Amino acid sequence: MIKILIVDDEKPICDLIDLNLSSAGYHCDAVQDGLKAIEKIEQETYDLILLDIMLPGADGYDVMEYIRPLGVPVIFITAKHEVKDRVKGLKLGADDYLVKPFDVVELVARVEAVLRRYNKTEQRLTAGDVTVDVEARRVTKAGRPVELTNKEFGLLVLFIRNKNVALFRETLYEKVWEEEYYGDSRTLDLHVQRLRRKLGWENSLVAVYKVGYRLELA
């Protein structure tokens, strides 16, 4: 399983990130102090580190200096939004830079993008009795194969990686169809209906009023 270290001095933000990334199938640890982050990195091996800049103990730039020789990908997550701050973070070796407040769907997408760049993506996803082999583009339900179109497969992966998160219609359409959303949701709705029917998710893949859809799974 992909292991991610979250380093942020605000525990509610750590908890929010942990909740969403854990729902997407990642294993997360979290610390709120720069020195504790370094201790954790010495003790464990991580596939990705999400790093705040303004930290007690040692700031994010200092922690980044420690991480850089290890070759572990890093995404800075910070309230520091000026261009000079972004440039400094990227020059230190960060792979991406996300400014607070952020959308959790965007966070998950950026995490996936960086992991893909390092060939560290999770290739096997599960949701209840549904299993997805991302690389082989193979889906099974209770061990039996399920045939999906390319768009249905794209929606399924997005829903599983954002379990229990309400996804906007715009987000779903633009990520799967890779086109700008103009407000006509009939195509998306038809694909979601077919996905529900094929996977028996009539009660799990729910519509969220004025938002879009959410995959509700324990």
Residue-wise pLDDT tens digits, 93-120? 889 988 888 888 889 889 988 998 887 7
CATH for 124-215 is 1.10.10.10
Contact 29, 3 (CB under 8 A): yes
* DSSP helix, strand, coil percent of the chain (3-state; round to 5): 40, 20, 35
Please state, rounded to an integer, the average pLDDT across all residues of the chain.
89
Look up residue 130 and give its amino acid.
V
Q: Report the topology of domain 3-117.
A: Rossmann fold (3.40.50)
Domain residue extents for the chain: 3-117, 124-215
Question: Whose CA is closest to 192, among 161, 217, 165, 167?
Answer: 167
Over range 46-54, report the average pLDDT.
Answer: 94
Helix axes 150-161, 186-199, angle to 10 degrees: 80
**Residue 82 — very low, low, confident or very high, per pLDDT cuts 50/70/90?**
confident
